[in-house]
Amino acid sequence: MEAALFPPMAAHILLIFVGAISMVALVGIAYNYSLTRRTREKIARVEELERDVKILQRDIKALQDRLPKDAMPDNTDTKPAVDKAAGGAMAGNVKQEVWQGFVDDYNNLANSMNIPKAAEACENFVRNNKVQLLVCVESQKAEDGKTLVYTAVDNVESSRYWAWNVTGKPDDFAVVPNPLIEYNEELHHKGGMKETFASNYETGSFKQVQVKLPAHFTLRQGKWVIVQPGVIRVK
């Protein structure tokens, strides 16, 4: 009978050692894979943001070209917020705008309009965020080259626009559509939406809206003025 290469005890210890090394190697491979995957996801996210920024810049430019000239105050900086996002995206470090948290919460709410208590959820959102409720009362003026006229209303269901006061800027507001209201041709053409937001709307009715960029309004001496149109997507 031939002698064993290793004594039984040594062979057993060696097997345990090899098994441990294998486990460490597997953990290392899994960790490296996780890092690679996260890196690829970050790169993909930056590329996606770059594409979104280009689309937003195009949409904002098209909508600003349609706005009446007197809707843009001479003493107000009208440079689109998307330009800042573009610089951040190119650097891979996207700085969050002051209004981003509000818009994220709004989009989550807008995705829930099919629940039984959607109206109650909107009431709570408006109250908790101290949102001001608006309607466009003279949208026809835009076609005559004049400034759109917006006025405040008292209840959520009759409003068409929600204005959130930007933190630290008492005269500046981030404005989004009322998600309770069905987006249709009348709202688009006669409710001031096509002047307030660039969108993918062409025809038909839609029950869901998502804000890519809120409209920027100012409120001075009781007068609401569009400084910069927003961008929305209906679906």
Say what the pLDDT of residue 184 is.
96
Task: Determine how β-strand 230-234 pairs with β-strand 132-136.
Answer: unpaired
Mean pLDDT of the chain: 79
SS3 for 59-94 is: HHHHHHHHCCHHHCCCCCCCCCHHHHHHHHHHHCCC
Is the pLDDT confidence value at 172 over 90? Answer: yes
Cα dist. 68→57, 139, 148, 159 in Å? 19, 12, 8, 23
Q: What is the pLDDT of residues 49-100, one digit of tens each?
A: 666 666 666 666 665 565 555 544 444 444 444 454 444 444 445 567 999 9
Looking at residues 180-202, what average pLDDT do you find? 94
Share of the chain above pLDDT 90, in %: 52
Say what the pLDDT of residue 148 is.
87
Angle between helices 118-128 and 100-110 (to 10 degrees): 170
pTM: predicted TM-score of the whole model, two decimal places: 0.66
Say what the pLDDT of residue 96 is.
79
Cα dist. 66→70, 134, 219, 235 in Å? 12, 21, 21, 24
Is the pLDDT confidence value at 23 over 60? Answer: yes
Share of the chain above pLDDT 70, in %: 57
* Structure token digits, residue 166: 């930007």
Is the pLDDT confidence value at 22 over 60? Answer: yes
Cα dist. 118→113, 157, 184, 208, 232 in Å? 5, 11, 19, 12, 20
Q: How confident is the model at residue 196 (pLDDT cuts 50, 70, 90)?
A: very high
Q: How confident is the model at residue 24 (pLDDT cuts 50, 70, 90)?
A: low
* Structure token digits, residue 64: 């600003």
Is the pLDDT confidence value at 17 over 80? Answer: no
* Structure token digits, residue 29: 């491979």
Please report, as a single letter, which amino acid is at residue 78: T
